[in-house]
């Protein structure tokens, strides 16, 4: 182990020499410039795992391993922002980490306070790329001095708007989802403003139900008279179950119906007004309008682009309750065997190249499927010859044309070139010349009664016509 540490020191000393730093910087710039020629993920997340194991393997203190992990984070942030990544989310501290020994938790809190202060006050990296810091998690679990450092870092970088650094501290995805559901329930428990102060939805289910119920009650009130009061009471009593059946359509319509359905004995009371009661009733938002996007809008990452790439180091293949909601069908999840303090451009470069390859392949597949859908829609047109019979016309597409997607461009490949275009033009000129010279009809089957249609026994006449010779 002593020999390994000595070789590591010698290697670091060589790499930190001015010639080596200049060479590595040039190569790094070249590789990042090559990456920017292709698609770049807009949102990348990192699970920074392996700091403690790195410290154990190198026989150093655990806190020193976390410090080396912070230096690795600075290197990766520079690579991401230079390549064009807009949002970087890091898993800095889990709520489950409070179960660790107290001295380690206190050391992590102290390191977070010091590093955030340094990053904000002397953060030329964030100012250079216009990145702002945002801390996602439960603030009430953080110490007061650490919370003060967090607020200072957020305020000092609030003017940056070109990129974002999300620090999940302390955070778990289950807690985030629970918080989003709680906030959604709170929003849908608040009554809507009066109709004059909010945008109305005249064709929503609850609005249509309320209008029907109000019209029925108004009709009953107008038709009722003192000499026909028993009949009106009978009608209202028989219509009451119908109102109840309509009220089950949504929560808001049920509340409106309950407020606008008085006893029939007060039908002629001057205080009763269906429109007045309906307007004064508290109307809640319709819970049927809650969708997955509603919960997404209540997440901590509501204003961030969708997660494109998630990377976890240390060889552990699990998400550890991180970004469970944000991972969707197009998110690439990569597990690397290297420890987080060892993670740098040379480990991250193959990940980005592979993501670009998969991205181009998915884009090619989507475009080809779109072309196939257009061809299928074109081929399913009915026969014009037989209006009473539908027979799909199946035609093979031109296989000499292939659409290839590279990035955002369509490149035509195949045999469709200038030579074939010139042949078509020559054929068209020969056809026009034959028409002007008064030659015999080129399509004799269209000159007589035999026009190529079906006869009585369903057979199609196969008429032929002389074809123009192709030029040599």
Concatenated DSSP letters of 9-43: HHHHHHHTSHHHHHHHHHHHHHHHHHHTTS---SE
- pLDDT tier for residue 23 given thresholds of 50, 70 and 90: confident
Percent of the chain residues topping a pLDDT of 70: 62
Asked if 301 and 348 count as a contact pair (C-beta separation under 8 A), the reply is: no
> According to the model, what pLDDT value does residue 377 have?
58
Residues 105 and 218 in one domain: no
Beta-carbon contacts of 57 under 8 Å, excluding residues fewer than 6 positions away, are: 339
Residues 70 and 206 in one domain: no
Q: Among 128, 125, 48, 50, which Cα is nearest to 91's?
A: 48
Q: Residues 183-194: what's their mean pLDDT?
A: 88
> According to the model, what pLDDT value does residue 216 have?
75
Q: Is 88 helix (H, G, I), strand (E, B) or coil?
A: strand
- pLDDT tier for residue 89 given thresholds of 50, 70 and 90: very high
Burial class for 221, CB neighbours closer than 10 Å (0-12, 13-18, 19+): middle
362 domain residue, yes or no: no
> According to the model, what pLDDT value does residue 376 have?
60
216 domain residue, yes or no: yes
pLDDT at 470 over 60: no
Task: Give the whole-angstrom CA distance, residue 175 versus residue 180.
Answer: 9
Residues 151 and 219 in one domain: no
- pLDDT tier for residue 421 given thresholds of 50, 70 and 90: confident
Residues 110 and 241 in one domain: no
Residues 207 and 337 in one domain: no
> According to the model, what pLDDT value does residue 94 have?
93
pLDDT at 461 over 50: no
160 domain residue, yes or no: yes
* Site of tokens 């974002």: 164
Angle, helices 229-247 vs 251-259, to 10°: value is 160
Among 223, 252, 284, the domain-final residue is 284
Q: Residues 440-454: what's their mean pLDDT?
A: 47
Q: Among 134, 176, 139, which Cα is nearest to 155's?
A: 134
Tokens of 376: 């299928």
Residues 170 and 208 in one domain: no
Among 249, 284, 319, the domain-final residue is 284
Q: Which of 61-70, 137-146, 403-412 has the lowest mean pLDDT?
A: 403-412
Q: Which of 50-64, 179-193, 247-261 has the lowest mean pLDDT?
A: 247-261
54 domain residue, yes or no: yes
- pLDDT tier for residue 464 given thresholds of 50, 70 and 90: very low
Q: Among 103, 93, 85, 101, which Cα is nearest to 69's?
A: 93
Residues 58 and 172 in one domain: yes
467 domain residue, yes or no: no
Say which residue, 100 or 214, is predicted with more confidence: 100
Q: Which of 175-189, 234-248, 293-307 has the lowest mean pLDDT?
A: 234-248
Asked if 92 and 166 count as a contact pair (C-beta separation under 8 A), the reply is: no
Say which residue, 310 or 368, is predicted with more confidence: 310
Residues 131 and 108 in one domain: yes
Among 257, 284, 311, the domain-final residue is 284
Q: What residues are annotated to the active site?
A: 49, 97
Percent of the chain residues topping a pLDDT of 90: 34
pLDDT at 67 over 50: yes
How many structural domains is the chain composed of?
Answer: 2
Secondary structure (DSSP) of 405-459: EETTEEEEEES-SHHHHHHHHHHHHHHHHHHHTTPSPS-GGGTSS--S-B-TTSP
Q: Is 165 helix (H, G, I), strand (E, B) or coil?
A: strand
Structural domain of 161: 27-185+295-356
Task: Give the whole-angstrom CA distance, residue 166 versus residue 89.
Answer: 4
411 domain residue, yes or no: no
CATH number for position 77: 3.40.1180.10
> According to the model, what pLDDT value does residue 4 have?
59
pLDDT at 298 over 50: yes
- pLDDT tier for residue 223 given thresholds of 50, 70 and 90: low
- Residues 144-172: pLDDT tens digits? 999 999 998 899 899 999 999 999 999 99
Give the residue ranges of DSSP H helices in 36-137: 51-57, 62-83, 102-121, 124-129
Q: Which of 50-64, 104-118, 421-435 has the lowest mean pLDDT?
A: 421-435
Residues 52 and 142 in one domain: yes
Residues 212 and 168 in one domain: no
308 domain residue, yes or no: yes
Residues 279 and 201 in one domain: yes
- Residues 309-364: pLDDT tens digits? 999 999 999 999 999 999 998 999 999 999 999 999 889 999 999 999 999 888 88
429 domain residue, yes or no: no
- pLDDT tier for residue 72 given thresholds of 50, 70 and 90: very high
* Site of tokens 């209202």: 236
Residues 128 and 233 in one domain: no
């Amino acid at each position: 182990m002593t020999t390994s540490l000595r070789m590591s020191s010698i290697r670091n000393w060589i790499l930190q020499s001015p010639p080596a730093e200049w060479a590595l910087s040039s190569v790094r710039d070249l590789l990042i410039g090559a990456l920017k020629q292709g698609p770049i993920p807009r949102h990348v997340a990192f699970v920074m795992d392996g700091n403690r194991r790195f410290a154990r393997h190198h026989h150093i203190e655990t806190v020193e391993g976390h410090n080396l992990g912070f230096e690795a984070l600075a290197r990766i942030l520079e690579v991401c922002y230079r390549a064009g990544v807009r949002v970087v989310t890091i898993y800095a501290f889990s709520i489950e980490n409070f179960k660790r020994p107290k001295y380690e938790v206190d050391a992590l809190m102290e390191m977070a306070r010091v590093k955030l202060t340094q990053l904000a006050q002397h953060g030329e990296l964030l100012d250079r790329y216009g990145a702002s810091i945002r801390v996602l998690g439960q603030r009430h679990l953080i110490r007061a001095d650490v919370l003060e450092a967090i607020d200072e870092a957020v305020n000092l970088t609030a003017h940056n708007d070109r990129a974002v650094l999300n620090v999940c501290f302390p955070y778990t995805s289950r807690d985030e989802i629970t918080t989003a559901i709680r906030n959604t329930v709170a929003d849908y428990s608040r009554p809507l403003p009066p109709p004059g102060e909010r945008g109305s939805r005249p064709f929503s289910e609850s609005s249509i139900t309320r209008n029907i119920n109000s019209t029925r009650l108004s009709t009953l009130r107008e038709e009722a008279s003192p000499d026909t009061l028993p009949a009106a009471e009978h009608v209202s009593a028989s219509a009451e179950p119908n109102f109840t059946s309509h009220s089950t359509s949504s929560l808001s319509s049920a509340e409106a119906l309950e407020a606008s359905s008085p006893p029939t004995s007060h039908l002629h009371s001057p205080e009763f007004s269906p429109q007045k009661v309906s307007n004064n009733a508290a109307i809640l938002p319709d819970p049927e309008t809650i969708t997955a996007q509603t919960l997404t809008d209540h997440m901590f990452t509501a204003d961030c682009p969708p997660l494109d790439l998630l990377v976890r180091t240390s060889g552990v293949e699990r998400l550890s309750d991180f970004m469970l909601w944000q991972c969707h069908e197009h998110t690439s999840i990569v597990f690397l065997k290297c420890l987080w303090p060892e993670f740098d451009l040379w480990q991250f470069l193959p990940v980005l190249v592979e993501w670009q390859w998969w991205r181009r392949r998915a884009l090619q597949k989507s475009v080809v499927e779109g072309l196939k859908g257009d061809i299928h829609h074109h081929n399913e047109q009915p026969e014009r010859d037989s209006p009473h019979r539908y027979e799909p016309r199946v035609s093979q597409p031109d296989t000499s044309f292939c659409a290839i997607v590279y990035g955002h461009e369509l490149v035509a490949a195949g045999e469709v070139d200038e030579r074939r275009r010139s042949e078509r033009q020559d054929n068209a000129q020969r056809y026009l010349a034959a028409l002007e010279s008064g030659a015999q009809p080129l399509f004799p089957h269209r000159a007589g009664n035999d026009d190529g249609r079906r006869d009585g026994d369903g057979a199609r006449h196969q008429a032929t016509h002389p074809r123009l010779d192709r030029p040599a």
